[in-house]
């Protein structure tokens, strides 16, 4: 019986069934000068979905990139395009990296105005990052009563691990 050598010349690629490729190119019908020279007021650039009202947990003040991204999103809406937020962020990242210094300076000025509006709306605001106290259970669903601590461990090696360490150090 003769066995022939198998050769696999086909290239196998694994792709997730619902993997979506984001549109990274900026739409051709968009006038980039409208993004570089925003026509929207500062309040509209600060919040694109909701009205500015004081509430219990105030948002962080926007930076210049965030304001440019919001202007880009509003300009896309005006020409009738509704992209997903990851697509908008990827495209605005490219716009921001290629933007001239004058445009970035213009958005820095808008950021200062937004900062003053934010200070008026939330006078007692202070950025206080908080650590997450517990891990989400969907991260480790098989472990129900596990506490995570870097200072306290309940680990004790098994007998086989101890014997393997002893054998390794002897030889």
pLDDT digits (tens, 9 = 90+) for 12-29: 555 555 555 667 788 889
Instruction: Give the pLDDT score at 93.
Output: 94
Helices (H) then strands (E): counts for the chain: 6, 0
Please indicate whether residue 107 or residue 22 has the higher confidence score (pLDDT): 107
Q: Which two tokens stand for residue 160?
A: 């086989």
pLDDT digits (tens, 9 = 90+) for 144-167: 554 554 555 555 566 665 555 555
pLDDT digits (tens, 9 = 90+) for 34-47: 999 999 999 899 88
The runs of H, that is alpha helices, within 8-100 are: 32-36, 42-46, 64-78, 85-98
Would you call 60 exposed, middle or buried from its count of C-beta atoms within 10 A (0-12, 13-18, 19+)?
A: exposed
> For residues 15 and 78, what is the distance between their CA atoms, to the nearest angstrom?
35
Instruction: Give the pLDDT score at 138.
Output: 62
> What's the mean per-residue pLDDT of the chain?
77
> For residues 61 and 112, what is the distance between their CA atoms, to the nearest angstrom?
10
pLDDT at 94 over 60: yes
Q: Which two tokens stand for residue 125?
A: 């605001």
> How much is the pTM?
0.63
């Amino acid at each position: 019986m003769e066995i022939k050598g198998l050769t696999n010349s086909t290239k196998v690629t694994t792709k997730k069934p619902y993997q979506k490729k984001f549109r990274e190119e900026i739409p051709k019908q968009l006038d980039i000068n409208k993004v570089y020279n925003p026509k929207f007021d500062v309040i509209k650039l600060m919040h694109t979905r909701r009205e500015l009202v004081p509430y219990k947990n105030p948002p962080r003040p926007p930076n210049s990139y965030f304001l440019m991204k919001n202007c880009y999103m509003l300009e896309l809406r005006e020409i009738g395009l509704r992209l997903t937020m990851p697509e908008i962020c990827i495209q605005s990242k490219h716009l921001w990296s290629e933007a001239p210094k004058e445009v970035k300076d213009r958005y820095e000025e808008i950021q200062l105005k937004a900062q003053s509006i934010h200070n008026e709306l939330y006078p007692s605001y202070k950025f206080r990052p908080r650590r997450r106290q517990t891990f989400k259970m969907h991260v480790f669903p098989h472990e129900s009563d596990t506490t995570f601590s870097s200072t306290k461990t309940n680990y004790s090696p098994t007998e086989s691990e101890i014997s393997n360490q002893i054998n390794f150090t002897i030889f």
